[in-house]
Structures are given as C-alpha cells and as structure tokens.
Amino acid sequence: MNSSYSFPMLPSQVIITSGQGMGKSPLNAFDSALLDAKVGDLNLLKTSSIVPPGAEVIALREHPEALALPAGSIVPAVYTCFVDDAAGEVISACLAVGLPSCESTGVIFEYCGRGHLSEIRPLVRSMAAEALKSRGKSSFQVLYAESELTVPDRSYGCVVALAILLDPSAGQDNGT
C-alpha cells in the first residue's frame, strides 16, 4: 500500500456525497451524518473549492466502490455541515460542483443552515455561477450533493454535504 502523499496533489476525481444524522450531542450527530454519507471512517482534511480541469465527478451513492479507502485515511475534502437541536426545524446542506462546458477549472460551493433545499439550492447554484463567470465561463453544468432533515425531539440533527478530492494514481484508490 502506498500510504504517502505528495503535495501538491492534483486530484483527478471529485467524489460527492451527503448524509444526515442524529445524536445526543452535536458531535455525535455530526459523526452519524458522516457515517450516513459513507465517509465516517475517514479523516477529512478541509480544503478550498477548485476542481482541476478534466477531473471526473462521481456520485458516491451511485458508485460506492469509488471510495474504497482504509479506515483512518486522510483525504482532502470540501464540506459543509449544520447541526441544530430545535425540534421540528428543517435544516439543509447543499454542495454544488460547477463544471464549465470546456475542459477548464471548475468550482465547488457549499451552504448550510435552517431552511429547505428548495431555498438553499438556488443560492448555492448562484454562488457557483458567479465564481465561474468571474473565471470567464458562462456555459456550465452543476452537480449537487445535498441533504435535508427535520430535527427530531430531544436530539441534535446534522446534515452534511461533501466533495472528496482524490488522485487514484497516487495509490489512494481501493486501499492500494
């Protein structure tokens, strides 16, 4: 197994996922949401939001084999989360990957808070669109990872949306 990283790393894959969870503490709710997103046994290294030209975007729910890493692996990730204990409150997390129609630099933007995805998704799309336009890109597609939860009684609720940045050629895929 190649367990060393070489920085700077140029990711060739962006794996998007989301989750929701509940717990008796904010941290337990966050852990539960990460487990639901299928990244609960990874160490997330928060990073900023640039997608390299030509990177493949993979939805983890549709391709669970795309993130077969050993437990404890340290992985760069763009993520957002929101934790709340106000029973009955709707909370949401949304991450948008904006990809220009030409093979060029893409962006990842995220937002979370109280409210429905129907309110938050247009905001995140607009942030990604603005970032792409500032890079001279007016034609693009947007892919989403998103989660919405109604906070239960006597519990914390958490929503997360993530983009994991990988370079399989560096030995990060399938635990090799």
Supply the residues annotated as catalytic.
43, 48-49, 110
Give residue 66's identity as a one-letter amino acid code. Answer: A
Element (H, E) at 163: strand 156-166
Q: What is the DSSP letter of 66?
A: G
The closest alpha carbon to 159, from 72, 109, 89, belongs to 89
| Neighbouring residues of 161: CB distance < 8 A, sequence distance ≥ 6 | 16, 17, 18, 79, 80, 81, 93, 94, 95, 110, 112, 145, 146, 147
Integer Cα distance of 77 and 147 in angstroms: 17
Q: How many helices (H) and strands (E) does the chain have?
A: 2, 9
Contact 154, 29 (CB under 8 A): no
